[in-house]
Amino acid sequence: MQCIAWTGQLLRQLGAVLGAVLVGLAAQAQPIVVAQIGPFTGLPSPDAKEINEGARAVFQQVNRAGGVRGRSIELFELDDQFTADGFARQLQAALPRKPVALISPIGSGALGKLVNEKLLDRHAIAVINAIPGSEPFRKPGHPLLFHVRASDRQQLEKIVQHARTLGVSRLGVLYQDLPIGTAGLKVVQELAAQAGQTPLSVNGTLAKPDADALTAAATQALAAQPQAVVVIGAPKFMADAVAALRKAGARQFLFALSYMPAGLAYKLAGEDGARGVGIAQTFPNPNGVSLRLQRDFQSAMRALQPGAKAWTAFHLEGYVSARVLVEGLRQVNGEINADSLARALKGLGNLDIGGYVVNFSKSNEGSAFVDIGVIDSRGKLIY
């Protein structure tokens, strides 16, 4: 009888252990959920869609290779229609699916909700990359908000440096009444006040995004006789501003931040209006071949979209953001959640993604890479 009782106890213990193992295996088999909330409609440029495609190219490769610790990565997207309230609603709708990370929210409104209303204090989700990179969203920032792309300040530093190289001493700034615009003007003024070989004066002109306001602002900006003009605002605002400046007679150097797609400027300003406009770029040429990043990216995109031959900087931005996320997930010790992912990202050190380096060890700002691309007669960027 004693033997039978002991055997029964052993079987119960083995059953408990086996049950725990099966529960653990079931948890491991659950996909790692990632969300993208962005302007799939409402923003007249395909930023969110292209970022989504770049990220999916990475997750497809990772899943085909067995996932992360045997777990696949599941990406889902929700449309915020480029409104702050839409973003807040969609974030609430996303939470029941328990995403560990959010990739590349887009727009001052969306980021304002995240930062100013402290949504990341209430919801455990890490944010990998954010657009725009203006200073109000970086300083002080948030421990769960990781900026992959270079900041607006770093983009404007490159533009001001380039303008000085061209001999520009009078710089106009046509900016939108948004955090990206007002903060951008302040940065340009600070940079102009710094010592340089070419003294630089700055004249700022505020504009609303409607056509009449932009027409009046363009005329006002050119009345100060700048040798170059920087446009700062949302993507369509900048493209409309380029068109308005050219229509007002501008033949000066024109510059824009990286958020303005070359194709949108070409569409709105025409060939003559867009040609020669310089756009700051926070990622290498997506169609180049000199970096391993470029070759790996193009291979992944061809696997996702057979027959495609050319891609945009936003495709590459989505790809790089997803690569950063995957490397962070692979380095998590123990349970994967927002906090453990954040610690893993901080501990990556110099993450070299084929010639593009991201490092979060000192701050949540990962990259300082900025280049200048110039729109050619076909509406394409020359780097």
C-alpha neighbours within 13 Å on the C-beta side of residue 382: 10
Residue range 233-253: mean pLDDT, rounded: 96
Q: Give the pLDDT of residue 21.
A: 40
Q: Tens of pLDDT along 345-369?
A: 999 999 999 999 999 999 999 999 9
In 96-185, beta strands by DSSP E: 101-103, 126-128, 145-146, 170-176
126-128 vs 145-146, strand pairing mode: parallel
| Longest CA pairwise span in the chain (Å) | 103
Q: Which residue has the tokens 């869609």?
A: 49
State the DSSP code for 14.
Answer: H
CA dihedral 214, 220, 223, 227 (to 10 degrees): -50
The alpha carbons of the chain give a radius of gyration, in whole angstroms, of: 24
Query: How far is it, in rounded angstroms, from Cα 126 to Cα 359?
Result: 16
Whole-angstrom CA distances from 375 to 154, 278, 284, 288, 380 are 21, 7, 15, 16, 5
Q: What is the DSSP letter of 147?
A: B
CA 93 to chain centre: 22
With 70 as the cut, is the pLDDT of residue 314 above it?
yes
- The whole-number pLDDT of residue 9 equals 61
Question: Of how many residues is the chain composed?
Answer: 383
Fold of 29-150+290-358: Rossmann fold (3.40.50)
**Mean pLDDT to the nearest integer, 106-134:** 92
Cα gap 170→219, rounded to integer Å: 16
Distance CA(253)–CA(168), nearest Å, equals 9
* Cβ-based burial of 270 (10 A; exposed 0-12, middle 13-18, buried ≥19): middle
Residue 18 has pLDDT above 70, yes or no: no
The pLDDT of residue 1: 52
Name the residue with tokens 């363009």: 218
Residue listed under structure tokens 């909330």:
37
Q: Name the amino acid, one letter, at 303.
A: A
Averaged over 209-226, what is the pLDDT?
97
Q: What is the pLDDT of residue 349?
A: 94
CATH superfamily of the 153-281 domain: Response regulator (3.40.50.2300)
pLDDT at residue 13, as a whole number: 58
Q: Three-class SS of residue 250?
A: coil
pTM of the predicted protein model: 0.88
Strand partners, 102: 35, 127
Show the CA angle centred on residue 367, arms to residues 362 and 370, nearest 5°: 145
Share of the chain above pLDDT 90, in %: 83
For the segment 326-339, the average pLDDT, to the nearest whole number, is 97
Does the pLDDT value for residue 142 go beyond 60? yes
Average pLDDT across the chain, whole number: 92
Mean pLDDT to the nearest integer, 239-261? 96
Distance of CA 44 to the CA centre of its chain: 17
What residues form DSSP beta bridges with 146? 128
Residue type, 310: A
- The whole-number pLDDT of residue 136 equals 85
From-to residues of CATH 3.40.50.2300 in the chain = 29-150+290-358, 153-281
The tens digit of pLDDT for each residue in 154-205 reads 999 999 999 999 999 999 999 999 889 999 999 999 999 997 778 899 999 9
